Structure 1
């Protein structure tokens, strides 16, 4: 039995949950630093006298950094290891977030937000690749969705920081708090193991065998006496053309459309949400309260997706959540009283973030070890293009008559279109090993 097969035969143990929590906390800090800007913008727009177009640029510039970070970190993770890149990007985005608190004008904030985005975009595909490569096939979907659920916790933390800190102490302090996760790198470096497929790809067979043996012992399984490496030992670096080979071309097209659509919708909606609600006449404090409730609704969305993804499959869960989110966005855009806005906003958060959990489960499953982080990074990078466009497009649209309604009509159409593409082009990967799926 080769090392990868042995790894996939190890049942879920405390190790898997510990890895989930450690990487998940890094993911939470990632989301916290992403979310803080959304809550700072309404105050910053008033203090600095920013136009809606400038606010849109601030929302977009981080996504430019995320696009570049996603591509470069995926390649670096396949070359230098998941653990090293995870740690480096954690430090980068945390320090850059702290620098945002020192920004003295619009241009300096743009520069610092670009650096934040570069680090954030670099960490996400690496973290999900690491968790997916350790989780057993029967539990992989659930584990990756649970990893993504830490994103909701991070946005909740950002909302709480903003609600409690910004009104009393100013927007700078919120950014300074966002720099604290840099200290977490010491825990990551000490506790996170390197990826087994990565070690094998680099010829470090003995190191991979020792790691798997420890996992087997912790699960009450007698470790194998002999060391058998998988047959495929292709360690040449991944290149762009690999994503367009015959067996991957449909997967790549589907993933790129999926990522573009879901990132476009997410950052277009949630980066602007506090500002949009202030524009509808709600006070800053009341807006923070409503968005806090909507953010809380993200968590059960993740848990529902985690339950369904290994039962009814990736395609059905993802398509269904995207379509439901589209319906909620439509009704949210119709406005109404506070209770109606709060209900549809909460349901929109529920389905959107549940879909995100499945996206992060699904993406690395569709590529082999050699290009897994690289392919995931490229898909995420294409998604960031959508994220770059969305805040700016919304900034222009809200200046028009009935802009609020038109913005959410646009997001309804985008998400419905993506749901159809996933259903038509997606391949089901539920319960299959990574070798079986991506060969």
Structure 2
């Protein structure tokens, strides 16, 4: 279960970073007459596709099941990624990337919901969520390394082939070995029709006391993704503006992402033990604190340490928001709640690079860029604090394993997950 979902997110991360790897080559070779402006437009259209995909996947998962929704997402982005390698023109390439992004947007929410519900019986839903999300960073690193090795030999198109081919192994494994969520199966066994679930799930995010939590989750994930995409896009340039060489700046970016992986692993485990609400608030506060510290002139060894800690908190604070939704939303709207939280958050992913670019254009990226991002982290903490300590569904959000009783009541899975 967990390895298959993790691998799907690895492919997701690989595909998401592929454009950043191939665009410099495409621009230098003047492929289809691309300019920085047209390349940015393609990337933005992809983010729009991801937003739509994330918003759609919740209803799909509530209707046909988490297992099928995840497999469809992986098949969608892998197919259109492979076709992107053969695109004959910029308009066709843009359409294919948009189609692939629909699957990319749905993959992470479906994977997170699947593993969280499976691990909830052991009180490990938060650590399962954050562990799966390390796949994004691993995929991103693999994509960057693959680009350095493959592009000089085979050209930029090979990256989309490399990103798609593993799915031909992964999807058959998922079809055979990935079980369906106990929660979805319990709802089906209780004679709740799939049409009813799909129709009512979205409305359920705003009624019965969930409106406050829903809006707070949307704000928190908006802030979290704004931090991640803003820093990953502009950190080298901001540090260069502070007087560091480009070589040092790339080292800073690597340190940031290494800290992220450890933050994912430890943040989820702490959330399972001490409560996901406290962990989420604390992680956003930590992100804000260490980002604000960058405004000070620090010795370089200290700076690397602070940057590692910033990455430790920034990335996993967003992962903990997804884990937090698993505790608050009841079974019949959980997949929709996670999906809409991710979808609305994608707007923050668009705004983060825009804010960083605006500060750079104004010549005030250092130190004010870090102060602005620290403020964003602080707002994320406030949003997490606004979520009620007791779920409207009648559970304490600080205690794990909310679907354990449901899972125990569901018959054992068959080999094919049905």
The change in CA–CA distance for 1:386 and 1:350 in structure 2 (over 3 A counts) is same
The equivalent position to 1:182 in structure 2, one of 167, 176, 192, is 167
TM-score for both structures, normalised by structure 1: 0.78
The change in CA–CA distance for 1:294 and 1:173 in structure 2 (over 3 A counts) is farther
Task: Name structure 2 gaps, 5 residues minimum.
Answer: 390-396, 407-418
**Aligned mates of 1:363, 1:418 — CA distance in 2:** 14
> Secondary structure of 1:158's match?
helix
**Aligned mates of 1:134, 1:195 — CA distance in 2:** 6
Report Cα offsets for 1:228-277 as digits up to 9, x if no partner: x6xx9475232532211132112111111111111222122224446766
Shift of 1:360: 2.3
1:11 alignment counterpart: none
Question: Is 2:16 the counterpart of 1:31?
Answer: no
1:61 alignment counterpart: 45
Work out whether residues 238 and 369 of structure 2, in 8 Å CA contact, stay in contact via their aligned partners in 1. no
1:71 alignment counterpart: 55
1:429 alignment counterpart: 398
**Aligned mates of 2:309, 2:288 — CA distance in 1:** 10
Question: Is 2:236 the counterpart of 1:252?
Answer: no
**Aligned mates of 2:86, 2:311 — CA distance in 1:** 31
Shift of 1:425: 2.8
Work out whether residues 37 and 271 of structure 1, in 8 Å CA contact, stay in contact via their aligned partners in 2. no
Describe how 1:161-310 pairs up with structure 2 within 5 A. 161-166=146-151, 170-183=155-168, 184-202=170-188, 205=189, 233=192, 236-237=196-197, 238-273=200-235, 282=245, 290-310=252-272
Task: Name structure 1 gaps, 5 residues minimum.
Answer: 1-18, 206-228
**Aligned mates of 1:277, 1:104 — CA distance in 2:** 38
2:142 alignment counterpart: 157
The equivalent position to 1:389 in structure 2, one of 351, 369, 373, is 351
TM-align CA RMSD: 3.2
**Aligned mates of 1:411, 1:54 — CA distance in 2:** 27
**Aligned mates of 1:276, 1:114 — CA distance in 2:** 30
Provide the aligned length of Structure 1 versus Structure 2: 391
**Aligned mates of 1:411, 1:20 — CA distance in 2:** 33
**Aligned mates of 1:50, 1:335 — CA distance in 2:** 39
The change in CA–CA distance for 1:172 and 1:345 in structure 2 (over 3 A counts) is farther
The change in CA–CA distance for 1:46 and 1:335 in structure 2 (over 3 A counts) is farther
Shift of 1:51: 6.3
Shift of 1:312: 2.0
Work out whether residues 165 and 174 of structure 1, in 8 Å CA contact, stay in contact via their aligned partners in 2. yes
Work out whether residues 24 and 148 of structure 1, in 8 Å CA contact, stay in contact via their aligned partners in 2. yes
